[in-house]
Amino acid sequence: MEQEVVSQAALAGSVAAHDMSIFSLVMNADIIVKAVMLMLVLASVWSWAIIFDKFRLMGRLKRRADDFENRFWSGGSLEELYDAISERADHPMAQVFAAAMGEWRRAKAKGTALTDATSRANLRQRIQQVMEIALNREMAGLERNLGFLATVGSTAPFVGLFGTVWGIMNSFTSIAMTKNTTLAVVAPGIAEALFATAIGLVAAIPAVIFYNKLSSDVGRYGARLENFTGEFGALIARQIEDRR
**Maximal CA-CA distance, the chain:** 109
**What's this model's pTM, rounded to 2 decimal places?**
0.79
Is residue 104 within 8 Å of residue 72, measured between CB atoms? no
Asked, for residue 18, whether it belongs to a domain, the answer is no
CB 82 within 8 A of CB 127: no
| Total number of domains in the chain | 1
pLDDT band at 114 (very low <50, low <70, confident <90, very high): low
Report yes or no on 107 lying in a domain.
yes
Mean pLDDT over residues 185-201, rounded?
A: 79
Confirm whether 118 is domain-assigned. Answer: yes
Number of Cβ within 10 Å of residue 70's Cβ equals: 9
- CA-closest candidate to residue 102, choices 71, 73, 65, 133: 133
143 — pLDDT class (breaks 50, 70, 90): very high
* pLDDT for the residue 243: 63
Instruction: Specify the pLDDT at position 20.
Output: 56
Give CA–CA dist 212/146, Å, rounded.
9
**Domain assignment of residue 118, given as a range:** 32-243
**Which residues, in sequence order, are CB contacts of 25 under 8 Å at separation 6+?**
188, 191, 192, 195
Q: Give the whole-angstrom CA distance, residue 109 versus residue 122.
A: 16
pLDDT at residue 175, as a whole number: 73
